[in-house]
Structure 1
Amino acid sequence: MRKTDSMLNSQLEILAQGHAYLESVTKEDYSQIVAPNFISSAGSHMRHIIDHYQSLMTGFGINNIDYDSRLRGSNIESNPCEAIKKIAEIASWIEQLSTDDFNKPLLLSSEVSIKSKNVQTVTTSLARELIFVGSHAVHHYAMISQITFAQKASFDQNFGLAPSTATFLREKSQQSQLKSLQS
């Protein structure tokens, strides 16, 4: 398998995790803010994830990515079915990408100051930005996982687990099994 195929598959796996969560959550739990521990709902986090992927899709088309341009407050925050549709659109876009797309130079514009508007623009690539949005999604899945835990709902223990953490846990489990066999 080529590296690009592996990267695309990893993105599809990340999106599949989100899809599985969305299929399992009630509309009420999805939009509930569990105060005082959290200031946003699982739906807000999912909308934020989707916004980043959509910014990447749009930016790829015009050669300028702007993650600051998002659809805050959209119905994706309150309706898991709408989020499922958007995740399907994103997955379809990812499936259409080619090896040549990965190294295409792109511009990335982002605000960098909280005290005043200061937008910086740097050169990046689609491959680098896919790594970012995937990692960003996993980070927010971890937040959603904590919200779900606070709601006392059952959930997949692997949801929101970083790939490197999953590898660490697998290796730790294998080492533990070997030690018990040797005892």
Structure 2
Amino acid sequence: MPGSLITSLCRANIAILSQKLALTDVLLQRHGSKGAHAIFQSVCPIVGASIGQHFRHSMDHIEIAALVAAESSPPCPKEALKPIELHYDLRVRGGTLEKDMELSINRITSVIDVLHSLSNSCIEGTNEVSVAMVPVHAHFFLSSDQAFEEPLPSTVARELGFAAHHAIHHMAMVKIISLQSCGLHESDLPDHFGRAPSTIKYDGHSG
């Protein structure tokens, strides 16, 4: 049912965002405020990027999908052919959100609040079918020589799913950075940090 689908999608994204907050807590506990903030923006030589960069990039996608979902309403017949225009590739790179851990934490917390509110509205039945089926045009550059983005037909539910799926891969890179460059051990990280649900299920069945 679409209502429960949106709730599941919100839960999936919240779980990923909670992993991000858990990592910042560990960094603060292990290295103190000054050390944690320095590590957050330090580029790992193995990955070629920082925790902050991976947080910012994946947050760009989760945040825009969450805000579009939260602001969506059921399209009336006249509006049914007017998808919401969503631009993932128009984002700010190298800004303070990649370097200021406190700002990043505040951003993550804010998006978690948006997702909780959206999930609660679906549970209460006020947004059951509408949000999942709201049409979207997700715009992307499909090659570097394109002058304009390509609009891909989608729905709000599909974009919330994409945001979570996309973020997992960035969290896998963050895990490498954490273990190789931040002085952390796997036991310091939350269970299943940076691992896709399908991988967890596969390991459970094969074990």
TM-score by length of 2: 0.75
Aligned to 2:180: 150
Q: Measure the CA separation in 1 of the matches of 2:113 and 2:157.
A: 17
Q: Which residue of 85, 90, 101 maps to 2:106?
A: 85
Q: Which moved more, 1:83-92 or 1:114-123?
A: 114-123
Q: Residues 5 and 132 of structure 2 are in contact (CA less than 8 Å); yes or no, is this contact kept in structure 1?
A: no
Post-superposition Cα deviations, 1:46-101, rounded to whole Å, max 9, x if no partner, equal: 01011112332455559211000112122221122211111111111112323321
Aligned to 1:163: 197
Task: Tell me the SS of whatever aligns to 1:168.
Answer: helix
**C-alpha displacement at 1:13, in angstroms?**
1.2
Q: How does 1:11-22 map to 2 (within 5 A)?
A: 11-22=13-24
Task: Tell me the SS of whatever aligns to 1:131.
Answer: helix
Q: Measure the CA separation in 1 of the matches of 2:66 and 2:195.
A: 25
Matched AA of 1:153 = L
Aligned to 1:64: 85
RMSD over aligned Cα atoms: 2.0
Q: Measure the CA separation in 2 of the matches of 1:69 and 1:56.
A: 14
Which blocks of at least 5 consecutive residues in structure 1 are unaligned? 174-183
Matched AA of 1:64 = E
Task: Tell me the SS of whatever aligns to 1:115.
Answer: coil
Q: Which moved more, 1:48-57 or 1:103-112?
A: 48-57
Q: Measure the CA separation in 1 of the matches of 2:47 and 2:9.
A: 32
Which blocks of at least 5 consecutive residues in structure 2 are unaligned? 28-35, 73-83, 119-126
Aligned to 2:53: 44
Asked which structure has the greater RCO (Cα within 8 Å, sep 6+), the reply is 2
Q: Residues 52 and 70 of structure 1 are in contact (CA less than 8 Å); yes or no, is this contact kept in structure 2?
A: no
Do structure 1's residue 76 and structure 2's residue 85 form an aligned pair?
no
Task: Tell me the SS of whatever aligns to 1:106.
Answer: strand
Q: Which segments of structure 1 move beyond 6 Å, counting only runs of 4 or more?
A: none
Q: Residues 112 and 119 of structure 1 are in contact (CA less than 8 Å); yes or no, is this contact kept in structure 2?
A: yes
Q: Residues 60 and 91 of structure 2 are in contact (CA less than 8 Å); yes or no, is this contact kept in structure 1?
A: yes
Seq. identity, %: 24
Matched AA of 2:205 = E
TM-score by length of 1: 0.84
Task: Tell me the SS of whatever aligns to 2:22.
Answer: helix
Q: Residues 55 and 69 of structure 1 are in contact (CA less than 8 Å); yes or no, is this contact kept in structure 2?
A: no
Post-superposition Cα deviations, 1:90-116, rounded to whole Å, max 9, x if no partner, equal: 111112323321111111111111123
Q: Which residue of 47, 50, 53 maps to 2:62?
A: 53
